[in-house]
């Protein structure tokens, strides 16, 4: 079982008994630091070699993963009476992939460098980009910045201009400065600064943190102390974030029949949309050793991105407690089911990976 399930349950129990969320609300910024760190790490993975040798399979699978949930737009909006921003938010949660938990399982099982693992890495990293775009669109359609905090005040066009200027600035740094920023203070400044700029521009702090990771990867500072600092931040603050999400779940909202019917519909849509991703793995890919079902099960967990989208929407007043509870239930079920099926599929691959020398290599390689 993924640890986030236990952390959510503990938070739910505390939030409805001894420790309501309002008591820890002043510390929500510290909780959200782990979330920004994870999206910063996703940005580090967006490199030129991400598509690898199976470019077609990765792009087809990403397209299916991001477009298939859009088919549920009108059924969700008309069947459950959701507003346009709330519907877009739900679609963002359905499109997302729990990149962190999926890649961590692959690394622990020595399957990250197999043909299936390489495809899954490319798809799971790129898969979050359309989901973040939908989340930003939901924010814009509601006329407010939903990120993790307040409303944007500068404007999306200014944010895009700042992103272009930062890309040019990094290019100038690479050409004229041999040293690379790798200290803890430099990492924190880039992480928090890029997240703040993304929030101020109305593009969400998540997108800003992801872009900060892209800039850091372009500088080439992705190993050594950078990874150590990010690992410490994520391992310390991510559990606090999951506890905070559990604290927000109102037990009374789970007693409403509408919440369970909506949760059941979201779970069914979440499972079906990722099953459709198997069509992106063609015959030639399977002949090259790509396991279609391993890719499908690896994409199924919604993990942290789904929780982040739901929490950001709740903070911004876009959704109420019933829809928030339904989204959390969808995230928990898909994460548990997806990881259990992924583990089951990886079990027969371990002997072959060990024979190929993949597992020892991963033990000495970077951890996700």
Higher pLDDT, 282 or 1: 282
- CB of 95 closer than 8 Å to CB of 270: no
Q: For residue 47, name the pLDDT band (cuts at 50, 70, 90).
A: low
Q: 80-96: per-residue pLDDT in tens?
A: 888 888 899 899 889 88
Instruction: Give the largest CA-CA distance in the chain.
Output: 62
Residue 160 has pLDDT above 90, yes or no: no
- CB of 148 closer than 8 Å to CB of 326: no
Handedness of CA 138, 88, 126, 315 (dihedral sign): positive
Is residue 26 classed exposed, middle or buried when 0-12, 13-18 and 19+ CB atoms within 10 A define those classes?
Answer: exposed
Residue 271 has pLDDT above 90, yes or no: yes
Mean pLDDT computed over every residue of the chain: 78
Q: Is residue 265 part of a domain?
A: yes
Distance CA 356, CA 30 (A): 42
**In this predicted structure, which of 79-83, 227-231, 281-285 has the lowest mean pLDDT?**
227-231
CATH number of domain containing 44 = 1.20.1530.20
- CB of 298 closer than 8 Å to CB of 103: no
The neighbour count for residue 179, using CB atoms within 10 Å, is 8
Residue 126 has pLDDT above 60, yes or no: yes
Alpha carbon distances (Å) from 262 to 80, 121, 252, 328? 7, 31, 15, 11
Q: Which domain holds residue 52?
A: 3-363
Per-residue model confidence (pLDDT) at position 145: 46
Q: 236-249: per-residue pLDDT in tens?
A: 787 887 788 888 77
Q: Is residue 344 part of a domain?
A: yes
Helix (H, G, I), strand (E, B) or coil at 138: helix
Q: Is residue 345 part of a domain?
A: yes
Per-residue model confidence (pLDDT) at position 96: 85
Residue 151 has pLDDT above 50, yes or no: no
Distance CA 82, CA 105 (A): 35
State the average pLDDT over residues 167-194: 81
| Domain count of the fold of the chain | 1
Distance CA 368, CA 363 (A): 11
- CB of 222 closer than 8 Å to CB of 207: no
Residue 149 has pLDDT above 50, yes or no: no
Q: Is residue 35 part of a domain?
A: yes
Residue 203 has pLDDT above 70, yes or no: no
**Closest by Cα among 32, 33, 14 to 23:** 14
Per-residue model confidence (pLDDT) at position 157: 74
- CB of 365 closer than 8 Å to CB of 302: no
Per-residue model confidence (pLDDT) at position 1: 56
Q: Is residue 270 part of a domain?
A: yes
DSSP assignments along 161-227, one per residue: HHHHHHHHHHHHHHHH------SHHHHHHHHHHHHHHHHHTTS-HHHHHHHHHHHHHHHT--STHHH
Per-residue model confidence (pLDDT) at position 91: 92
Residue 269 has pLDDT above 90, yes or no: yes
End-to-end CA distance of the chain: 18
Residue 48 has pLDDT above 80, yes or no: no
Buried residues in 38-57 as b, exposed as e (16+ CB within 10 A):
bbbbbbbbbeeeebeebeeb
**In this predicted structure, which of 80-84, 85-89, 203-207, 357-361 has the lowest mean pLDDT?**
357-361
Is residue 231 classed exposed, middle or buried when 0-12, 13-18 and 19+ CB atoms within 10 A define those classes?
Answer: middle
Q: For residue 359, name the pLDDT band (cuts at 50, 70, 90).
A: very low
Per-residue model confidence (pLDDT) at position 29: 72
Residue 30 has pLDDT above 80, yes or no: no
Tokens of 158: 């200014």
- CB of 197 closer than 8 Å to CB of 152: no
State the average pLDDT over residues 257-282: 88
| Cα angle 190, 102, 309; round to 5 | 60
Q: Is residue 368 part of a domain?
A: no
The alpha helices in the chain, defined as continuous H runs, are 3-15, 21-24, 28-45, 55-67, 73-80, 84-95, 99-108, 115-141, 156-176, 184-200, 205-219, 225-248, 251-254, 257-275, 283-287, 292-299, 303-315, 321-346, 350-355, 358-364
Q: Is residue 64 part of a domain?
A: yes
Higher pLDDT, 191 or 234: 191
Per-residue model confidence (pLDDT) at position 358: 45
Q: Is residue 258 part of a domain?
A: yes
């Amino acid at each position: 079982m993924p640890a986030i399930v236990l952390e959510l349950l503990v938070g739910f129990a505390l939030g409805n008994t001894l420790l309501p969320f309002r008591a820890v609300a002043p510390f929500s910024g510290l909780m959200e630091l782990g979330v920004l760190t994870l999206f910063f790490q996703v940005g580090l993975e967006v490199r030129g070699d991400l598509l690898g040798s199976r470019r077609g399979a990765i792009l087809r699978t990403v397209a299916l993963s991001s477009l298939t949930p859009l088919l549920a737009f009108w059924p969700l909006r008309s069947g459950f009476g959701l507003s346009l921003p709330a519907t877009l938010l739900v679609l963002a949660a359905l499109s997302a992939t729990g990149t962190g938990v999926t890649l961590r399982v692959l690394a622990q099982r020595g399957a990250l460098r197999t043909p299936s693992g390489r495809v899954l890495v490319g798809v799971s990293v790129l898969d979050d980009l359309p989901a973040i775009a939908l989340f930003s669109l939901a924010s814009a359609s509601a006329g407010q910045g939903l990120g993790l905090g307040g409303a944007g005040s500068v404007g999306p066009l200014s944010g895009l201009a700042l992103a272009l200027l930062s890309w040019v600035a990094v290019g100038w740094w690479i050409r004229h400065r041999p040293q690379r920023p790798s200290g803890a203070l430099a990492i924190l400044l880039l992480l928090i600064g890029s997240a703040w700029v993304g929030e101020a521009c109305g593009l969400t702090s998540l997108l800003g943190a992801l872009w900060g990771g892209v800039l850091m990867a372009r500088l080439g500072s992705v190993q050594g102390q950078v990874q150590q600092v990010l690992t410490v931040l994520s391992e310390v603050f991510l559990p606090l974030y999951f506890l905070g999400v559990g604290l927000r779940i109102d037990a009374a909202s789970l007693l409403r029949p509408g919440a369970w019917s909506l949760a059941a519909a979201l779970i069914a849509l979440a499972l079906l949309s990722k099953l459709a991703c198997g069509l992106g793995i063609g015959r030639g890919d399977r002949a090259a050793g790509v396991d279609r079902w391993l890719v499908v099960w690896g994409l199924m967990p919604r993990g942290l991105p789904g929780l982040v989208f739901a929490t950001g929407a709740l903070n911004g007043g876009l959704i109420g407690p019933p829809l928030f509870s339904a989204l959390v239930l969808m995230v928990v079920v898909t994460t548990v089911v997806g990881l259990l099926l992924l583990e089951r599929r990886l079990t027969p691959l371990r002997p072959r990976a060990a024979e190929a020398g993949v597992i020892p290599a991963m033990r000495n390689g970077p951890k996700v």
